[in-house]
Copies of this chain bind each other. A is one copy, B any other.
C-alpha cells in the first residue's frame, strides 16, 4: 500500500484525529478533531510530519507520490466547497488557501502563516467580483504578496513598507485604510517588481506554484537557525518535524456581518468559569494583534466587568454569540480542559480556525483544575497532572505589593525568589554589625565568596553586580531561601567608598533598598510586601497531592521562622537543620571563635559550654514546632576558618574580647587556611580531631529533646553526621553520639526514639554504602556537595566557565539545579541499593537544593527514595512533583 502523506478534514468529517498529533502536528490534529465533532472548521488537509522528515533527509525532495496526493486533496476541497482553486471566472468564484506550519509542540522561530494564497493579477478580479468589493480584493492581494514575499521568499518586510510610505507621501495619504482599490492597483506592481529584483525570479502567478513554494518554505523553516536554537533550548528532537496545514480561507473582513476574535473558554488570569475573549468586527486576525483598533469584549458580562463601553459580540450578533458559546461548551466537554480558540465570522457564518490548551496563570490553573473536578470533567489525578510544579514558585514567596509604587534602579537576574527590604551594607563585617544592632540589611557585593558567608546568613537580601544564576551568591542564597538579585550590571558598587550608583542616583551605606528576587528588580526605598495569598483551591489540590504521592517531603530549615513556614506548607519534618547556621549570630560567633582559638581540649570545652545553651534553645524551638515529626540535625560541617574574622579591625576586636594577641588570631587563621576547603578539614573530620564539638551538640540536642518530651511533646530527633568517607569514621562518631544521648536521656529518665545516620555527599560514601549501612540508620544524600565531588566542580568557582559551557551547548542543565542523573544520580542509586541491601529498613532521602527541583524529585521517586528535603518555600512544589511522579508524569512534560 502506498503511504498516506495527506489527511483531509472539513464538513463534519476528517481523516485524522487528535490522536495523530505526532503525524499531523498540534494545530492539524485539532483541526481534524474539531471537524469530526461537528464544529464548523474551514475544510482543508494536512501534509504529515513524515514528509518533513523526507524533505529534511533528502535536502529538499518530496516523496514521489506527494504531488498526486496533494492534487487529490485539493480536488476534494474544491468538490466540498464547489469552487475551484485558481478561481472560475465564469462562476465568479474563487477558492483561496491558507498555509500554516504546525509541529507536535508549539514552535516559535518557524515560519508561521501565509494567507490568501491563490491570488494573482487575474484572480484578484474574480475575488472582486465575488465579493463585490474591489478594495477588499486588492487589499487581500497586497496582504498576500507581502506575507508570501516576506515569509516564503525571504524578502524583508521593510521593502514593502518603504514603497507604501513613499506612495502615501506622494499622494498625501495618511493611513493604510486611506488607500483605495486604485491606489493598491497602482502600487502592487512595485511590490511584485521588488520580489523579482530581491529574489532574482518573478513573483509566481500560478496558484499551484504559490502553494508548493509555501509548502517548501514551511518544511525548510524547520531547519533554520532560529528553529534549531529553539529546539535545542527546549529539548525538542530534530526528527519530530512539522506538518503543513492547507485550509480554505475564510474572511472576517467581508463587511459588518464579518468579524474575527480570540477567546478562552475560561478566564486565563483568574480561572473563573466564564467565557472570556475579544473580537473585532470586519477585520482579519492580524488586525486584532496589530493593536490599531481596540478589541471589543465578547460578552455583555465581560463588557460590564471591564467598564469599557464598546459593544460586545453578544450585543451585536446574539445568535452567533450563542453559537460560539455552544462551541465553547462542546470544546470543554470534549477536551476536558480550558481552550484557547480563534474564530472568524464571514458574512454571518461562524468558523473555528484553531483550538488548543489555553495558557493560564498559576492561580487560574489551580482554580480550573479544582473546578473541573467539581464539574466532573476530570478526576483528581488529572487535576494534579495539570499543574506545573515549577510554576508554583511564584505563588509561595512574599511578594511586593503590586499596587505600591516602585522606584526601579536596575534589573539584574532573578537569582533567588522572594522580596526583601533593608539597609545597604557592603561587607560581611558591616552586615554582622548592623544586624547586631537590630537592623535589616541588604548585603551588596560585586561578587560574593565563601568569605561572605557570615554576612549572607544575617542579611535579608543579597545583591551582586556580577555573576549569573549559578554564581556563588545565587546558589548560596537559594540554599538559604534568601532573596537575591545577581549580576545587576547596571549598578556600580564602590566597596571602599560604600556607595551604590545606578541611573545617576548614589546611595550610601544605610540607605534602604528593596529587592525582588523573582524578577531581578532593585528598587530604591522600601516597597511594602504582601504575604503569599494562597487560595482554597491550592489547599484542595495539595490535599489530593498528598493522597497520591508516596515520596515524603521534608524541609531544610534551622530557624524557627523557616520551620514554621515549612510546617505551614506541609513539610513532614525537617530533613536538614544546618547547625552551623546557628553559630553565625553575632552573640554566638564570639564563643565559636574562642573555641577555635583554644589551645587545648579543656579550653575548647569551656568555649563549647558557652555555646551549649544557645544550641539547646535552638533545638528546643525546632522540636516544638515540628512536634510529632522527625527533625534531622546535621552536626557541624564547615571548616573552622569560615568562622574566623578577616579584617584587621575585627581581628583586633576578637583578640581583645578573648584576651589573646592579634598574632594569635592571625596565626590560627594561617594554620587553618586551606587551598581547597571543599575537600579539607570539615564535616566529620572535625569531630574525629575534636570530638568535643559533636559531644556538645549532641548534649544540647538531647537535653532539648528531653525538655520538649517532658512538657508533653513528641520528638523524633535524627542525628546526621556529615562528610563521611569511610565506615570507621561513622562508627566512631555514632558511638560518641549514642553514648552522650543515652547518658542525657537516662539521667533525665526520658525515653526518646532517635536515629543516627549520615549525609552521603562523597562518591566514596556512595560506593561503600553497604559498609556504612552496617551502622547508619539513615542516609541523606547531600547532592550539592556530591555534585561538586562527582563532577570535580567547585560551586564557588564554576560560575565563570559553566556560563561558557552553556553558551557553547556543552552542558544542557546546570547540575547544581537539576540533578545530574548519569553521574550524581548514578551514585545516589548505587548508594541506595548497596545501603538497603545491607539494611532493608534504611531510611533514604536527599537534602540538597535538588530536593525542590521537579525533575530531581521525579528522579528520587523513580529510584525509590523515602523523602526529599528542600527549602521551606519549595515544599509544595516538591509535594506536587512527587504526586506527579507517582502518577507517571514525566518532568519534561511540564517544560
Q: What residues make up the interface of A, taking CB atoms closer than 8 Å to B?
A: 449-450, 674-681, 685, 688-689, 723, 725-726, 728-729, 732, 761-764, 767-768, 771, 785, 788-794, 796-798, 800-801, 804-805, 808, 810-811, 820, 822-824, 826-827
- Closest B residue to A674 by CB, please name it: B797
Which residue on B lies nearest to A764, using beta carbons?
Answer: B823
Instruction: Kindly state the separation between the CA atoms of A156 and B156 in the bound complex, as whole angstroms.
Output: 108
- Taking CB atoms, residues of chain B closer than 8 Å to A789 are 679, 763, 789-790, 792
Give min CB distance, A281 to chain B, whole Å: 55
Docked-complex contact A762 and B790, CB < 8 angstroms: yes
Report the Cα distance A679→B794, complex, angstroms: 5
Pairwise interchain contact A797-B680, C-beta atoms closer than 8 A: yes
A336 to chain B, nearest CB (A): 41
Which B residues touch A723, using CB under 8 A?
792
- A685 CA to B800 CA, complexed, in Å: 11
The verdict on A764 contacting B785 (CB below 8 Å), with A679-B678, A728-B810 known, is: no
Tell me which residues across on chain B come within 8 A of A811, comparing CB atoms: 726, 728
Known: A679-B794, A689-B804. A810 touches B767 (CB 8 A): no
**A/B interface sample: 16 pairs, CB < 8 A:** A674-B794, A675-B677, A679-B789, A679-B791, A679-B792, A680-B797, A681-B798, A688-B801, A726-B811, A728-B811, A764-B820, A764-B823, A764-B824, A767-B790, A767-B823, A768-B826
Which B residues are in CB contact (< 8 Å) with A808? 688
A790 with B810: CB separation less than 8 A? no
Q: Residue on B with the closest CB to A812?
A: B728
A822, closest chain B residue (CB): B768
Choose among B771, B797, B810, B823 the residue that contacts A675 (Cβ–Cβ < 8 A).
B797
In contact, B823 and A771 (Cβ under 8 angstroms): no
**Across the interface, do B794 and A827 meet the contact criterion of CB distance under 8 Å?**
no
Query: Do the beta carbons of B791 and A725 come within 8 Å of each other?
Result: yes
A726 touches B450 (CB 8 A): no
Cα(A796)–Cα(B723), bound, Å: 18
Residues of B within 8 Å of A827, CB to CB, are 763, 767
Q: Of B732, B801, B826, which one neighbours A685 at CB under 8 angstroms?
A: B801
In the complex, what residue of chain B is closest to A472 when comparing beta carbons? Answer: B675
Tell me whether A801 and B675 are in contact (CB under 8 A).
no
Asked whether A792 lies within 8 Å of B764 as measured between CB atoms, the reply is yes
Q: A768-B822, A792-B723, A805-B688 are contacts. A675–B762 as well, Cβ < 8 Å?
A: no
Residues of B within 8 A of A675 (CB): 449-450, 677-678, 794, 796-797
Cα separation A800 to B674 with both chains bound (whole Å)? 11
The smallest C-beta distance from A859 to any residue of chain B, in angstroms, reads 15
Q: In the complex the two chains form, what is the Cα distance from A796 to B676 in whole Å?
A: 8
Q: Which residues of B contact A796 (CB under 8 A)?
A: 674-676
Residues of B within 8 A of A726 (CB): 810-811
- List chain B residues, Cβ under 8 A from A822: 764, 767-768, 771
> What is the bound-complex CA distance between A820 and B798, given in angstroms?
28
Point out the residue from B676, B689, B761 that lies within 8 Å of A676, measured CB to CB.
B676
Chain B residues within 8 Å of A763, by CB: 763, 789-790, 792, 823, 827
How far does the alpha carbon of A785 sit from the alpha carbon of B685 in the complex, in Å?
A: 20
Taking the nearest CB of chain B, how far is it from the CB of A505, in angstroms? 27
Beyond A450-B675, A679-B797, A763-B763, list 20 extra A-B contacts (CB 8 Å).
Answer: A675-B678, A675-B797, A676-B676, A676-B678, A677-B797, A678-B792, A680-B798, A688-B804, A689-B801, A723-B792, A725-B823, A726-B810, A728-B810, A728-B811, A762-B790, A764-B822, A767-B826, A768-B826, A785-B792, A789-B790
Nearest chain B CB to A579 CB, angstrom units: 20
A675 to chain B, nearest CB (A): 4
A871 CB → nearest B CB, Å: 23
Interchain CA distance A794-B677 in the complex, whole Å? 8
A556 → B minimal CB distance (Å): 21
A791-B804 in contact (CB<8A): no
Q: State A379–B778 Cα separation when bound (angstroms).
A: 55
Q: Cα distance A688–B827 when bound, in Å?
A: 26
Q: How far is the CB of A638 from chain B (nearest CB, A)?
A: 13
- A763 (CB) vs chain B CBs: closest residue: B763
Provide the bound-state CA to CA distance between A794 and B674, in Å: 9
Q: Is the CB of A810 within 8 A of B678?
A: no
Give Cα A666 to B767, complex, Å.
Answer: 43
Closest to A809 in B: B728
Closest B residue by C-beta to A800:
B681
| B residues near A805, Cβ cutoff 8 Å | 685, 688
Pair B681/A793 contact, Cβ less than 8 Å: no
User: Is the CB–CB distance between A768 and B679 below 8 Å?
Assistant: no
Most buried by B among A677, A725, A788, A804: A725
- Considering the chains assembled together, what is the distance between the CA atoms of A466 and B700 in angstroms? 38
A164–B811 Cα distance when bound, in Å, is 84
A227 to chain B, nearest CB (A): 22
Q: Which residues of B contact A674 (CB under 8 A)?
A: 794, 796-797
Within the complex, what minimum Cβ distance (angstroms) separates A820 from chain B? Answer: 7
A804 / chain B contacts, CB cutoff of 8 Å: 688-689
Instruction: Among B729, B761, B785, B826, point to the contact of A810 (Cβ < 8 A).
Output: B729
CA distance A680 to B679 in the complex (A): 12
The residues of B that contact A797 with a CB separation of less than 8 Å are: 674-677, 679-681
Cβ-neighbour of A764 out of B685, B790, B798 (below 8 A): B790
